[in-house]
Amino acid sequence: MDNTTAPAGTATSVLPLLAGRWGGRPVWRRRWLPRGRLMRWLAIAFLALLAGWALVPGLFASGSPTAVNPVAALLGPSGHYLLGTDQYGRSVYTELVYGARPALEVGLACTLIGGLTGSAVGIIGGYLGGWADMAVMRLIDILLALPGLFLALIFIAALPRTVPNEILAISISTVPIFARVLRGQALQVRSLLFIDAATVTGVRRRAIVWRHVVPNCMAPAVVLAAVNIGVAIVVAASLNFLGLGPSEGVLDWGALIASGQNYINQDWWISVFPGLTVALLVIAVSIIGDWLRDAMEPSSG
């Protein structure tokens, strides 16, 4: 069980907990999700299904997601309309399928851009130490003082509503989390003996960073990235729900939920099914994230 391996006194060590250091894994990050292969395979299957939707939507849904058909408006789930129809008579299922690509694009792009930037900043600060680390720490503190959505919202407010700008805003809000975790990891790696050995034998600093520090920081970055894809998709869906998404009318799950909310009384399927899709996606990536963590860090399980 997960409770037996805890080092004595962990509950009292507050600073590592706040700093989110990977080695002394923060208490709230410890195993929580159901173990077992079944859950893992279900999660993989669901993500594969979403990937299929995103890559070849035409294979999974017939007809166009935007074809308006007033005669068939607001029909409940049936054999013909698997998840019912919305107020314009469009099949909710088809909209879900076609919404997968923009959602996954945003999730992956934000995680890639924000994750790489944050990781680079964190590793530089953690490895170099000194004033560079001070600067990185202060930057992280400042960005984290703008909780969750707020950091993204500042950029959403300032920039025109386009998909690239939405990606930029969410990417920026991803940076501090990656920077904090990777800084901690780089600090730990730096204190390991083989780094000293490399330094003493005259390996150049750049080579040490690329050959030794970066590879040893990969595990937490990959785990964080897996989970962050889900987070970014939720943030994007929430922004679109609030009417702050791209203005060019991208098909989006969040916007679908928002439009369905006016009909929630009778025609609940418009909001509920896209919402469930997002929730299942979050659960699936958490399971995958936990699995990756176990696979990559056998010592901390």
3-state SS class at 113:
helix
Task: Name which of residues 55 to 114 contact other proteins (CB under 8 A).
Answer: none
Q: Based on CB atoms, which residue is closest to other proteins, 221 or 234?
A: 234
Q: Judged by CB under 8 A, how many residues of this single chain contact other proteins?
A: 63
Contact (CB, 8 A) for 264 and 274: no
For 182-206, the DSSP string reads: HHHHHHHHHTSHHHHHHHHTT--HH
Strand partners, 85: 91
Minimal distance, residue 17 CB to other proteins, in Å? 5
Out of 261, 295, 296, 301, the only residue in the binding site for other proteins (CB under 8 A) is 261
Minimal distance, residue 96 CB to other proteins, in Å? 13
Minimal distance, residue 125 CB to other proteins, in Å? 16
Does residue 154 touch other proteins according to CB under 8 A?
Answer: yes
Does residue 132 touch other proteins according to CB under 8 A?
Answer: no
Minimal distance, residue 234 CB to other proteins, in Å? 5
Tokens at residue 137, please? Answer: 């720490």
Q: What angle do CA 225, 228, 229 make, to 5 degrees?
A: 90
Minimal distance, residue 57 CB to other proteins, in Å? 22
CA distance 37 to 111: 26
Q: Based on CB atoms, which residue is closest to other proteins, 10 or 188?
A: 10
Question: What is the pattern of x (binds other proteins, CB under 8 A) and - over residues 281-300?
Answer: -xx--x--------------
Part of the chain binding other proteins (CB under 8 A), chosen from 83-91, 97-105, 200-208, 280-288 = 280-288
Q: Based on CB atoms, which residue is closest to other proteins, 203 or 283?
A: 283
- Residue 279's identity, in one-letter code, is A
Q: Based on CB atoms, which residue is closest to other proteins, 203 or 282?
A: 282
Burial of 105 (0-12, 13-18, 19+ CB in 10 A): middle
Residues 6+ apart with CB under 8 A from 15: none
CA distance 6 to 248: 51
DSSP category for residue 212? I
Part of the chain binding other proteins (CB under 8 A), chosen from 11-19, 72-80, 205-213, 292-300 = 11-19
Part of the chain binding other proteins (CB under 8 A), chosen from 41-49, 57-65, 75-83, 251-259 = 251-259
Selection from 198, 186, 184, 180 nearest residue 138 by Cα: 180
CA distance 117 to 100: 25
Q: SS3 string of 269-286? A: HHHHHHHHHHHHHHHHHH
Strand partners, 70: none
Calculate the CA 233 to chain-centre distance: 7
Out of 87, 105, 268, 300, the only residue in the binding site for other proteins (CB under 8 A) is 268
Out of 68, 145, 197, 296, the only residue in the binding site for other proteins (CB under 8 A) is 145
Task: Name which of residues 18 to 57 contact other proteins (CB under 8 A).
Answer: 18, 27-28, 30, 32-34
Binding stretches for other proteins (CB under 8 A): 1-4, 6, 8-15, 17-18, 27-28, 30, 32-34, 138-139, 141-142, 144-150, 153-159, 234, 237-238, 241-244, 254, 257-258, 260-261, 264-265, 268, 271-272, 275-276, 278-279, 282-283, 286
